[in-house]
């Protein structure tokens, strides 16, 4: 049993499920909640029996953003010195794939948290938006960076500068932010299904694939391609490569052992 206050954790086979659970505040991401998310992610990342993680919220809200009441009296010097929200970036250090299963509101920091994950599935009534401008601020955890890559410049400008123009689930899918839209009550099962499939593969290859796709946003194409080839070549040093290719040749299913 976990001792968390604002999240719930469970495992389903090789999949870990992390559920944001601060219903009174629509899962607003207060500091303590994010500390717990980071802790749970780190533990599951270190757990050899886990191959992939699903992050979800409630049916009404994935997360309604950073906690406005908690931060409203912050001043510049303190936010700067203590690097306010800096620890949110830790989720990017998780090596295992994270699927965000988004029902309801994913606003501000909630949208940014979903975009920090590797795959986003949405329930039919999901809403994605960056309303920070309405509070006299701007997004602070990727809304001006990751959103552009996901939906393009014009749409990102509308959302970030206008503070409205929220994306519905189907719009988010058509733009590529979301890869699957399902009825709300099937969302978690669908995300767990995909996570289970990923978790059945060889972890080294899965983690390299994730690392390289994320690297494609960071480095020039030629460098990314070189990294890819080097990792591809490295995988010939694994037992799982022998197993995967051997199983194909013998017309049977592979049984990966993460070696």
Please tell me the distance from the alpha carbon of residue 138 to that of residue 50, in angstroms, as a whole number: 36
Q: Is residue 28 annotated as part of the catalytic site, yes or no?
A: no
Please tell me the distance from the alpha carbon of residue 155 to that of residue 56, in angstroms, as a whole number: 25
Which one of residues 4, 62, 105, 256 is an interface residue with ligand CAA (CB under 6 A)? 105
| Residue range at the interface with ligand CAA (CB under 6 A); choices 22-30, 149-157, 181-189, 199-207 | 22-30
Verify binding: residue 108, ligand CAA, rule CB under 6 A: yes
Residue among 123, 132, 169, 172 flagged as catalytic: 132
In the complex, least distance from residue 146 CB atom to ligand CAA, rounded to whole angstroms: 11
CA 83 to chain centre: 22
> How many residues does the structure list for the chain?
259
Verify binding: residue 25, ligand CAA, rule CB under 6 A: yes
The answer to whether the CB of 37 falls within 8 A of the CB of 100 is: no
Q: Which of residues 158-217 bind ligand CAA (CB under 6 A)?
A: none
Map residue 117 onto helix, strand or coil.
coil
Nearest Cα to Cα of residue 142 among 59, 187, 198, 86: 86
In the complex, least distance from residue 50 CB atom to ligand CAA, rounded to whole angstroms: 27
Q: Which of residues 129-158 bind ligand CAA (CB under 6 A)?
A: 131-132, 135, 139-141, 143
| Residue range at the interface with ligand CAA (CB under 6 A); choices 74-82, 94-102, 128-136, 188-196 | 128-136
Q: Is residue 132 annotated as part of the catalytic site, yes or no?
A: yes
Sign of CA dihedral 25, 26, 32, 36: positive
Ramachandran region, residue 26 (left: φ > 0; alpha: ψ -120 to 50; beta: rest): left
98 bridge partner residues: 53
Verify binding: residue 68, ligand CAA, rule CB under 6 A: yes
Q: How far apart are the first and last CA of the chain?
A: 30
Q: Is residue 190 annotated as part of the catalytic site, yes or no?
A: no
Verify binding: residue 66, ligand CAA, rule CB under 6 A: yes
In the complex, least distance from residue 42 CB atom to ligand CAA, rounded to whole angstroms: 21
Largest CA distance in the chain: 65
Q: Is residue 109 annotated as part of the catalytic site, yes or no?
A: yes
Nearest Cα to Cα of residue 139 among 167, 175, 106: 106
Residue among 109, 110, 140, 143 flagged as catalytic: 109
| Residue range at the interface with ligand CAA (CB under 6 A); choices 44-52, 66-74, 186-194, 224-232 | 66-74
Which residues here bind ligand CAA, judged by CB under 6 A?
25-26, 28, 64-69, 85, 105, 107-109, 112, 131-132, 135, 139-141, 143
> Which residues form the catalytic set?
66, 109, 112, 132
């Amino acid at each position: 049993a976990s001792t968390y206050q604002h999240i719930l954790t469970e495992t389903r086979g090789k999949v870990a499920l992390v559920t944001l659970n601060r219903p009174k505040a629509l899962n607003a991401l207060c500091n303590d909640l994010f500390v717990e998310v980071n802790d749970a992610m780190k533990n599951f990342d270190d757990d050899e029996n886990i191959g992939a993680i699903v992050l979800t919220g409630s049916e009404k809200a994935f997360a309604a953003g950073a906690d406005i009441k908690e931060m409203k009296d912050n001043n510049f010097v303190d936010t700067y010195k203590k690097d306010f929200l800096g620890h949110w970036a830790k989720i990017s250090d998780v090596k295992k794939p994270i699927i965000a299963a988004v029902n309801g509101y994913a606003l501000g920091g909630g949208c940014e948290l979903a975009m920090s994950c590797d795959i986003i599935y949405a329930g039919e009534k999901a809403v994605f938006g960056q309303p920070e401008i309405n509070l006299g601020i701007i997004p602070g955890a990727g809304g001006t960076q990751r959103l552009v890559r996901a939906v393009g410049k014009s749409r990102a400008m509308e959302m970030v500068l206008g503070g409205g123009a929220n994306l519905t689930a189907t719009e988010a899918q058509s733009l590529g932010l979301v890869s699957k839209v399902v009825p709300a009550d099937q969302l978690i099962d669908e995300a767990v299904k995909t996570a289970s499939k990923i978790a059945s593969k060889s972890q080294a290859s899965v983690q390299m694939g994730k690392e390289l796709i994320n690297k494609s946003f960071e480095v020039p194409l030629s460098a990314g391609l070189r990294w890819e080839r080097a990792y591809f070549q490295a995988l010939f040093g694994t037992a799982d490569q022998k197993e995967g290719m051997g199983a194909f040749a013998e017309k049977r299913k592979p049984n990966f052992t993460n070696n």
